[in-house]
Amino acid sequence: MKELLTGNLPVSFLIGGREYHISSDFRAMLRLEEIFSSEELTDEEKAERALKLFYGCIPEPLEEAVDRLCYFWGCGRQEKKERAGGNGAAQPPIYSFAHDAGLIYGAFLTQYGIDLSRKSLHWWQFMALFEALEEDRVLKEVMRCRAVEIKGDMPQAQKDYYNAMKRRYALPLPEQEERQQSALVAALMGDGKVDEVMACMKKK
């Protein structure tokens, strides 16, 4: 994300030779995650709403538009955005922008002096600051407790502590909702299923 240092953060993309201004503020990306996690929308509806939110319309060609959206959502990183362990198994999320909103707000306010309810931030700026939060923030401790693997050789007191913390800080994401979100993200990130979404959208 060298663009953070040069000040050339993307605010538009060329799609099919035409320039489209995008919704670059972090709030738009948080709304995207809400769309992806909805149980009331079909995958086609999610993709359509996501593109309209990001571009204000559905650009052509769709494949290029989706590719640029995913590139932006991943903050310019080329690797796929996924939560998987070394064996390829999906890992539970350790944070939720919706559920942890209060902790995120407090962390930004105390560490950076940024009031997220009043401040506009480019998505890439927001994520850079989010990833750089200091370890002594409550949010980082909550994330650490969610992520820790409770092993058999741990002292019992440590096991009891982390089990209690995992129950206390558990994210209220139904398993089905998490699978749906992961499936749509995977489709948008290029596993081939996105073609089915595009075909349905072109029929409208």
Residue boundaries of the structural domains of the chain? 3-82+176-202, 101-172
Dist CA 61 CA 171 (whole Å)? 37
pTM for the full model? 0.75
Give me 192's structure tokens.
Answer: 């081939």
Nearest to 172, CA basis, from 144, 146, 152: 146
Dist CA 63 CA 195 (whole Å)? 8
pLDDT at 194: 55
pLDDT at 28: 95
pLDDT at 174: 54
Q: What is the mean pLDDT of each run of 10 residues along the chain (204 residues)?
A: 82 96 96 87 90 96 93 78 42 85 95 94 96 94 92 90 91 59 56 54 51
pLDDT at 78: 58
CB 126 within 8 A of CB 26: yes
pLDDT at 147: 92
Neighbour count for residue 188 (Cβ, 10 Å) = 23
Contacts 24+ apart (CB under 8 A), 188-197: 188/47, 188/50, 188/66, 188/69, 188/70, 189/70, 189/80, 189/81, 189/82, 190/67, 190/70, 190/80, 194/47, 194/63, 194/66, 196/43, 197/43, 197/44, 197/47
pLDDT at 86: 38
pLDDT at 29: 94
